[in-house]
Amino acid sequence: MSETLSPRDVFLELLEGITTGRFSGLARLYAEDAVVETVFEPVGPRRIEGRGALDERFAAVAEHSPLELRAANVVVRETDDPEVVVAEFDYHVHHRTTGRTFEAANIQVLRVRDGLIVHSRDFHDHLALITAGGDLPRLVAALEGR
């Protein structure tokens, strides 16, 4: 009989998968009807619903992302709700295409029920990631086209 992971352990497993580039299978950490909100996403989807959509999103990141990520300054705070954790961390980022290295701040608020993420609100520094990739002009054009 396997033990159900705590919300803290689920977050740490998610972070490890992302930072080691093992995106395949990360969707298994989410409930079938999970909702992920990427609050500060400037042009992509700000809401992803369902494990299948998350699996597609992780596959796209694995195929196209030029970023190497290393987590630092990780702090996971438990709350008065046993299902909810708040994780604060930095990514030390190396952009393989531009060669730039930089840090990007992150906060994730996860609701984990029965060992699966049912809801996540993700606050990532998307502007730092876009700027380091030299994609700021494309971002401006996309925003003007809205």
Q: Return the pLDDT at 2.
A: 54
* pTM of the predicted protein model: 0.91
User: 1-46, pLDDT tens digit by residue?
Assistant: 358 999 999 999 999 999 999 999 999 999 999 999 999 988 888 9
If phi over 0 gives left and psi between -120 and 50 gives alpha, with beta otherwise, what is residue 50?
left
User: 52-86, pLDDT tens digit by residue?
Assistant: 999 999 999 899 888 899 999 999 999 999 999 99
- At the top level of CATH, the class of 7-144 is alpha beta
Query: CA 113, CA 126: separation in Å to the nearest integer?
Result: 28
Residue pair 90/125 in contact (Cβ under 8 Å)? The answer is: no
Query: CA 143, CA 139: separation in Å to the nearest integer?
Result: 6
Contacts of 115 (CB under 8 A, 6+ apart): 4, 5, 10
Query: CA 8, CA 111: separation in Å to the nearest integer?
Result: 10
User: 92-116, pLDDT tens digit by residue?
Assistant: 999 898 888 999 999 999 999 999 9
Q: Where are the alpha helices (DSSP H) in the chain?
A: 7-19, 51-64, 126-132, 136-144
Report CA-CA distances (Å) from 35 to 77, 117, 129.
21, 8, 23
Q: Return the pLDDT at 115.
A: 97
Is 70 exceeded by the pLDDT of residue 119? Answer: yes
Is 80 exceeded by the pLDDT of residue 134? Answer: no
Domain ranges of the chain: 7-144
Quick check: helix, strand or coil at residue 138? helix
